[in-house]
């Protein structure tokens, strides 16, 4: 099962991952059109935390024992059989924010346009999530996890 590994030592804090995440989850998937023409533009599903020189980008960890799966009352949050990713079915989500309440990483947020939860989907359909692909310092890696 592939996961995004975050290596804080080499995160420069440039936030290009956020930019590319926004574009990937936009309507057009075109960077200029997303930034110049989409209102509201999608919120990034990756979040760069920063304190002095320590920075790292954090996105859903797709936990093995994911509290958001237990907490989701609509069944919108589900685990993808193939990839093992924890995904949110946007058609089922009603925005009760139970998942936000229980995620110990605080990586689920309210979508900027609809009343649904927004979280990392590992860029389903892409070989490599765009945050990983575009990290200029390989601080993010898409690797097989131990389990």
Partner 1 sequence: MKTLKTEYLIIGNSAAGVACIEGIRKVDKTGSIAVISDENIFNYSRPLISYFLAGKVKKRAMPFRDKKFYSRNNVKLVLGNTAEKLDTKKRIAYLSHGEKVVFNKLLIATGGSPIIPEIKGSRLDGVFAFTKFGDAVAIKDYIKKHYIKHAVVIGGGLIGLKAVEALIELGIKVSIVELADRILSTTFDTKASGIIQDALRKAGCNIFTKNTVAEILSKGEDKKVTSVTLKTRKQVPADLVITAIGVSPNIQLVKNTSISINRGILVDEAMQTNVKDIYAAGDVCEKNIPIWPNAFKQGRIAGENMASGNAEYTGSIAMNSVELCGIPTISIGKTSLEQDKYEILEMRKKEESIYKKIVLENNHIVGCIFVGDIERAGIYTGLIINRVDISNIKDKLLEEDFGVLALPEKYRKHLVGDVGLEV
Partner 2 sequence: MAKRPTPTEFIVERDKDKCIACQVCVRMCSNDVHIYDADTNTVTSDNSRCVGCHFCETLCPTDAITIKKNESCFKPNANWSASVISDITKQAETGGVILTGMGCDKPYTIYWDHILLNASQVTNPSIDPLREPMELRRYIGRKPDKIELNYNKGKVELKTKLEKQLKLEVPIMFSAMSYGSISLNTCISLAKASHELGIFYNTGEGGLHKSLYKYGKNTIIQIASGRFGVHPEYLKTGAAIEIKIGQGAKPGIGGHLPGEKVSKEVSEARMIPEGTDAISPAPHHDIYSIEDLRQLIYALKEATDYEKPVGVKIAAVHNVVPIASGIARAGADYIAIDGMRGGTGAAPKVIRDNVGIPIEFAIAAVDARLREEGIRTNVSLIAAGGFRSSGDVIKAIALGADAVYIATSALIALGCSQCQKCYTGKCNWGIATQDPYLTKRLNPEIGVQRLKNLIKAWSLEIKDMLGGMGINSIDSLCGNRTHLRGIGLSDRELKILGIKSAGEPQ
Residues interacting with partner 1, by CB under 8 A? 3-9, 47, 49-51, 54, 56, 58, 61-64, 67, 70-75, 91-92, 94-106, 108-110, 115, 143, 145-147
Minimum distance of partner 1 from residue 125's CB (angstroms)? 21
For residue 43, the Cα-to-chain-centroid distance in whole angstroms is 10
> How far is it, in rounded angstroms, from Cα 24 to Cα 126?
10
The site partner of 53 among partner 1, partner 2, none (C-beta below 5 to 8 Å per kind) is: partner 2
Beta bridge partner(s), residue 79: 86
> How far is it, in rounded angstroms, from Cα 100 to Cα 112?
15
Minimum distance of partner 2 from residue 130's CB (angstroms)? 11
Minimum distance of partner 2 from residue 36's CB (angstroms)? 7
Question: In which region does residue 75 sit, left (phi positive, over 0), alpha (psi from -120 to 50) or beta (all else)?
Answer: left
| Spatial CA neighbour of 121 closest among 71, 77, 64 | 77
Minimum distance of partner 1 from residue 43's CB (angstroms)? 10
Nearer to partner 1, 23 or 68 (CB): 68
SS3 state of residue 131: helix
Nearer to partner 2, 13 or 95 (CB): 13
């Amino acid at each position: 099962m592939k996961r995004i590994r975050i290596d804080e030592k080499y995160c420069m804090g440039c936030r290009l991952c956020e930019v590319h995440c926004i574009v990937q989850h936009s309507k057009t998937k075109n960077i200029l059109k997303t930034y110049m023409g989409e209102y509201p533009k999608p919120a990034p599903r990756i979040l760069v935390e920063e304190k002095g020189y320590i920075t790292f980008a954090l996105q859903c960890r797709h936990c093995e024992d994911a509290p958001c799966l237990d907490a989701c009352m609509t069944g919108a949050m589900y685990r993808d059989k193939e990839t093992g990713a924890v995904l949110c079915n946007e058609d089922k989500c009603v925005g009760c924010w139970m998942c936000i309440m229980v995620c110990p990483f605080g990586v689920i947020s309210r979508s900027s346009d609809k009343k649904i939860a927004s979280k990392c989907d590992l860029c389903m359909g892409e070989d490599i999530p765009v945050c990983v692909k575009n990290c200029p310092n390989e601080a993010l890696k898409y690797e097989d996890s131990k389990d």
